[in-house]
Amino acid sequence: MIHYHGLPITPDTAAVAAAGGGHAFVSFAHPGQLGIAAQVCQSFAIDNGAFSAWKKGEPVKDWAPYYDWARLAKLIPSCDFAVIPDVIDGDEIANDALLADWPLPKWFGAPVWHMHESLTRLERLATAWPRVCIGSSGEYSSIGTREWWGQMARAMRVVCDDEGRPMCKLHGLRMLNPEIFSRLPFSSADSTNIGRNIGIDLKWRGTYSPPTKEARAQVMRHRIEAFNAPTCWSFLVPDNPTPVQGALL
């Protein structure tokens, strides 16, 4: 499984520590470190920034600038894929319309299946696209709850065969937590957990706590990447699930 660490991470030296020689996820909402990803990562993927815009209450209406940015990113050999624009908490008609507007090759684009959408749409996407991103939304917006795992189990039953093998590559959006991705047959997952936590001193206490952001980034990266995703869905969910965010400290 590919562990994509979300950028930006400041300072730039901490971004290199978090993703250098590894993998990064660059959002169109914060594209400033695309050059770092291209220079130091084995590979990187780009996100459309819809989630960030949605959280600010300013949903994107014109996707032409993102399409232009994605075209340029596609020319970089280490760029794996781009998340196709989506409407967070939108309906399936709106999201299918954005798929129809995608101007780049299918191999480079990854549609988003939002967990509040129908399982029929998930099956349709998985049979038509080489990679599908799964996003937590609606009543399943809190990752790791009992309800979330129930819907994820239903989704895996649709997208996997009787042996638990997925019919396409699956990417977990904001799911780079070992408690999550170590149970699911993901090809990749991402989170911005390193960037959000290396600057919070209260989370780094004790005699041997790393004092610099660069060292903290390396510690978090090691703890996350020590785990991998299974090759098949086990048809099992946690007995007593609790909500989780990002990756564990």
pLDDT in tens, the chain (249 residues): 999 999 999 999 999 999 999 999 999 999 999 999 999 999 999 999 988 877 788 788 899 999 999 999 999 999 999 999 998 877 999 999 999 999 999 999 999 999 999 999 999 999 999 999 999 999 999 999 999 999 999 999 999 999 999 999 999 999 999 999 999 999 999 999 999 999 998 888 887 889 899 999 999 999 999 999 999 999 999 988 878 765 544
pLDDT of residue 109: 98
pLDDT of residue 243: 81
Burial 14-40 (b: 16+ CB within 10 A, else e): bbbbbbbebbbbbbbbbbebbebbbeb
Token pair for 145: 């709850």
Per the omega criterion (within 30 degrees of 0), is the bond before 11 cis?
yes
Sign of dihedral through CA atoms 161, 164, 169, 175?
Answer: positive
Sequence spans of domains, the chain? 2-225
The CATH code for residues 2-225 is 3.20.20.105
Strand order in the sheet with 188-191: 109-110, 79-83, 43-47, 23-27, 2-7, 188-191, 169-172, 131-135, 112-114
Torsion of CA 146, 143, 187, 99, to 10 degrees: 110
Beta bridge partners of residue 24, listed in sequence order: 5, 44
Q: What was the pLDDT predicted at 146?
A: 95
Burial level of 106, CB count in 10 A (0-12/13-18/19+)? middle
Give the predicted TM-score (pTM) of the model. Answer: 0.94
Burial classification of residue 194, based on how many CB atoms lie within 10 Å of its CB (0-12 exposed, 13-18 middle, 19 or more buried) = buried
- Do you find a cis peptide bond into 8, omega within 30 degrees of 0? yes
